[in-house]
Amino acid sequence: MSQLTPEEEDEILKSAPRGTFALLLLLAVLLLAGWAYMFFFMFIENGPVS
C-alpha cells in the first residue's frame, strides 16, 4: 500500500479518470472495428441468399 500525503490523496479524488477514458476509448474502437469486420468481410461477403 502506497503512503500518500493528504494533498496527493485529495488530488487523486478530484482528478478525472483519464485512464478509464483511454481504456474505454480503446475498447470502443476495437468493438466498432470488430463489428465492421463482421459486417463487411463476413456478412456482406457471403452475398445474397441463393
C-alpha cell at 46: 457471403
Query: Residue 43, interface with another protein (CB under 8 A)?
Result: yes
When the beta carbons of 2 and 50 are compared against another protein, the nearer one is 2
Query: Residue 42, interface with another protein (CB under 8 A)?
Result: yes
Which residues 6+ apart lie within 8 Å of 12 measured at CB? 4
Angle at CA of residue 6, ends 17 and 8, nearest 5°: 40
What is the contact surface with another protein in residues (CB under 8 A)?
A: 1-2, 4, 9, 12-13, 15, 17-20, 22-24, 27, 31, 34-35, 38-39, 42-43, 46
